[in-house]
Structure 1
Amino acid sequence: MLLSEKLKIGRQESHFTQAKISEELHVSRKTISGWENGRSAPDRTTLIRLSKFYQIPIDVLMDDTKGLDVSEDFRKNEEQKKKWIWTSYWVMVPLAALGYLEFFRFIRYPLIFLFVLVNICVYFSLFSDWQRFSNVRKRLITGAVIIGIFIINIGLIGFDNSFLKLFSNEKADYLAGLVFGHVVGLILLTMMIVVLLLFRPKELILRVKK
């Protein structure tokens, strides 16, 4: 288990807020968040203080090969969150399929994009493994994938002759609304594909304290 994961779980298990820890250590809340998301790491002196706050041995904190013991209540809560995030993840597969069918008007159900938006919001409210994007290279790859998928989606519009014909027959205000709706739909579809490819949930192995 990574240091960032241990710091976050240790704080939650000890019932501390990020604000409280930042106050105790005289650092910003953003710094605490950075430690827990893997964007940065505390120095050894601070790590020793954190191990005392969270009652986690310093050798356990510093060794990524060692797991973390947690309470039964915390484990149950994490198991519940895991069920929700995996459900949200796999629901994106049929939602993506239905979204593309609606986008190209094979079916008529505009509300599907509302379900897409809600599911994306639910997923990211549960997703916590941001440390996988902690280095610049991974963030650049992620950005390139997002842009690439969005461009591909835009290119697919070229195969929709019925949509292109509207530009010669409809009024400007109608077309403006239509284009805006298509852009929003493309963004949501792109986000779903990116989540399925790059934001797969991570399994956390937690042991119950004896």
Structure 2
Amino acid sequence: MKNSLLYCLAAASLALSFFFERPADASAMVRATAAPAVAEASLFSALLNEGEPGSSPASTPVNPATAAARDSLTYHYYAQTLGLQLDYDENKELLRSVTDWVGTPYSYGSNSRRGTDCSGFVTRVFQEVYGITLKRSSRSMFTTTKRVPKGEMHTGDLVFFRRGKGPIYHVGIYLKDGKFAHSATNGGVMVSSLRQGYYRSHFYAAGRVVAAEQANDSEE
């Protein structure tokens, strides 16, 4: 009975989100208005625990139906928050980390939740998700990644930008469907589209962090 009520409440919460449509340009830029990871945690925490009150999720088995419902709701939440069409098999930890950073203000030379620049954001996400320490600057990251054709980018690849023949000056994390997460000087951490005129004209290359790719392969 307890779990049935929780399912109903979670489903009702998600259903209400469909009454509010996104602006037409939401696919190019998504900002969080609250603390997404905290909201997601509060929504699904009860679903993780099927035992008696006070029991620990780590020590209580989760039945397959609950696990499937939880995963479906989690992916739906990330899809709505980030403006993505997900296949429900993407790296949830990466989506969680990016979602939690969305809305962080831009701050040159910083990499904290109070403010971060583009490379600071990327290094923090890769540390949180993969336990990988990347080079601190976008130029250094470029030299240590494996080149990937634009049409073959995967979720978690890095996207680099430069003006004309100048040096690389910006980096972001590719998500999917032409969208990437980055910390922009005019808005902080957000999700933008590579189809936007500015990013389309300044896109230079995509790179894959080999250690992250190996970590993904080992989890499959």
TM tier, smaller? under 0.3
Task: Give the number of the structure whose alpha-carbon radius of gyration is greater.
Answer: 1
Higher relative contact order (CA 8 A, sep 6+): 1
- Judging by fraction of residues, say which structure has more strand: 2
TM-score normalized by the length of structure 2:
0.26
Greater share of residues in helix? 1
